[in-house]
Amino acid sequence: MDEEKRTVRAVERALDVLLCFTGKSEWGLSEIAGKVGLHKSTVHRLLATLENRGFVIRDEGTEKYRLGFRILELSSNQSRPDDPSIVLLPEMERLRNELGETVSLYVRDRTERVRIQAVQSEQPIRRVAPVGARLPLSVGASSKVLLAFADPAVRAEAMADPAWPQALDKAAYTRQLEDIVARGYATSFEEREPGAAAVAAPIVNRSGKQVAALAVSGPSNRMAPEVMHRQAPAIVEAAKRMGALLG
């Protein structure tokens, strides 16, 4: 375990403090210290530094810490003209209108996946998909697509990750991925989320590299397996068109 020594401890700790704010938006100092396992005084100094640069602010009133506007600033300037999450939006809306279900766009980030864009269904009962969500790369139709069409090295890295569910039979899983490559899309039925089902297809850019997964998801009672297979061609086609838009 002589791993990466070329990293700055104080910065790592500060980023860990920042990461506390995913999921819970208001933290007290001692609370954070407990969570990240550091001394109060250390966390105090880190928070002062983060506050200094506008990455966190203190709620006047509760006196607790929350994220500052620097985060918003960074995330909004992140999008470039060729940002997939912008370029692909019209096609995603088209697909949502055609199928009436929520459409999501996922990219792989190391051994997880992140929903970088979503267009919500307008039905009264619908799948709600918040942008920015970080999900496991093992279960769910999108996960399987992201792995099936990835380099073998990526696949191996994901399956070797400590977060990989040991319960999954790797041989059977790999076979499933082969099927998905052959078929061109993946489905999942109450696999990650009870009551939800999804169909996903790969988005491959003009250079032939997979850059994202396109998923349509909804309540499982509207998306029985045969329904999903009927929807699949439209999704695969949409994904193809999207890929053609990307460098």
Partner DNA sequence: TCCCTCGTTTCATTGTATGAAACCTCGTTA
Partner DNA sequence: TAACGAGGTTTCATACAATGAAACGAGGGA
CB of 11 or CB of 86, closer to DNA:
11
- N-to-C CA span, the chain: 39
64 scored as a contact of DNA (CB under 7 A): yes
Nearest distance from C-beta of residue 107 to DNA, angstroms = 22
∠ at Cα 200 (22, 151), nearest 5°? 85
Residue 80's binding partner among a second copy, DNA, none (Cβ under 5 to 8 angstroms by kind) is a second copy
Interacting residues toward a second copy by CB under 8 A: 4, 6-8, 10-12, 14-16, 18-19, 21-23, 25-26, 44-46, 48-50, 52-55, 57, 66-78, 80, 107, 109-110, 114, 116, 130-134
Cα–Cα dist 38/47, whole Å: 12
Residue 29's binding partner among DNA, a second copy, none (Cβ under 5 to 8 angstroms by kind) is DNA
161, 167 Cβ separation under 8 angstroms: no
Which residue bears the tokens 């864009």? 117
Residue 151's binding partner among DNA, a second copy, none (Cβ under 5 to 8 angstroms by kind) is none
User: Please, what's the b/e burial string for 227-246 (b: 16 or more CB within 10 A of its CB; e: otherwise)?
Assistant: bbeebbebbbebbeebbeeb
Contacting positions for DNA (CB under 7 A): 6, 8-11, 13, 28-31, 38-42, 44-46, 63-64
